[in-house]
Amino acid sequence: MALYLIGDVQGCDAALHLLLQHIDFSPSRDQLVLLGDLVNRGPSSAAVLRRVVALQGAALCVLGNHDLHALAVAHGVRPARPSDTLNDLLQAQDSDPLLQWLRMQPLALHLRDCLMVHAGVLPSWGIDQTLALAAEVQAVLRTARLAEFLPQLYGNSPAHWSDQLQGVERWRCIVNALTRLRFCSPQGVMDFSVKEGAQRAPKGLMPWFDVPKRLSSGTRIAFGHWSTLGWLEREDVACLDTGCVWGGMLTALELRPDGRWGDKVQVPNPDRAAPLS
């Protein structure tokens, strides 16, 4: 069985279809893990979800910030932004079951000794703690408290993790790390003011995966979210957000049975969405 990791699709169903053809994906034989941001900014969010849902157990995903935003807009707790392209999903006849499926997805997965998240992992979190904290938020997303919970997710504080955090502040910090993190201080203080590539790190900050002695360094981590970072493959981390929705490529990376990175496959975006701004 081949296991493929796929970066941010963001509503680009034509690119996802093309990529699955290129890797000769078979749901009876292979498995996918999509690294979050399945929806928004591209033209076909509903089609992406239908395609992934139809694959059933052959496709897994982790939630990204755009996926959570889609849930918030659908529940009327956040306004749609001018740059959103969610109407095809929100107005679809099957919108309710698609969004129900989306809210049930995890924030982190651990397969073949590889941790998979949408954005990042705080340096003070080991693998077991990361999975446990992700499960805390997942449990809330899957309850009747969703509409109450979603509006409280937004904000940049607390920017630093403490095991003593409780309630909404605890959950917001977890969500921000797993779905928004790019840069942080060596002490793990998160910064969300800069969305540029790693070379544009603000003074005193660095990419989360470069923090010395981060507790997750012994496990490979695959993530997306960072299109301005682009393709990155190191022994310890891989970034698969290659800007498909901005006219870049959609990327799949094989994860071998021994947990090592395998072949990379990239396809262009046939929809050629607007350039990055």
The total domain count for the chain is 1
**pLDDT(273) > 70:** no
* DSSP per-residue letters across 200-252: GPPTT-EEGGGSTT-TTTTSEEEE---TTT--EE-SSEEE---BGGGTSEEEE
Do the domain assignments include residue 274? Answer: no
CATH number of the domain that residue 234 is part of: 3.60.21.10
Which CA distances in Å does 80 have to 40, 61, 69, 86? 11, 23, 9, 8
pLDDT in tens, 16-48: 999 999 999 999 999 999 999 999 999 999 999
Do the domain assignments include residue 231? Answer: yes
User: Would you state the pLDDT for residue 276?
Assistant: 38
Can you tell me whether residue 35 is helix, strand or coil?
coil
CA angle, residues 16, 22, 253, in degrees to nearest 5: 75
User: Distance (Å, rounded) from C-alpha 272 to C-alpha 14?
Assistant: 10
Say which residue, 147 or 161, is predicted with more confidence.
161
Query: Which range of residues forms the domain containing residue 233?
Result: 3-268
**pLDDT(275) > 50:** no
User: Distance (Å, rounded) from C-alpha 63 to C-alpha 65?
Assistant: 7
pLDDT in tens, 202-256: 889 999 999 999 999 999 999 999 999 999 999 999 999 999 999 999 999 999 9
pLDDT in tens, 65-115: 999 999 999 999 999 999 999 999 999 999 999 999 999 999 999 999 999
Q: What percent of the chain has pLDDT over 90?
A: 91
User: Distance (Å, rounded) from C-alpha 205 to C-alpha 211?
Assistant: 9
* Residue 241 near residue 117 (C-beta atoms within 8 A): no
User: Would you state the pLDDT for residue 145?
Assistant: 83
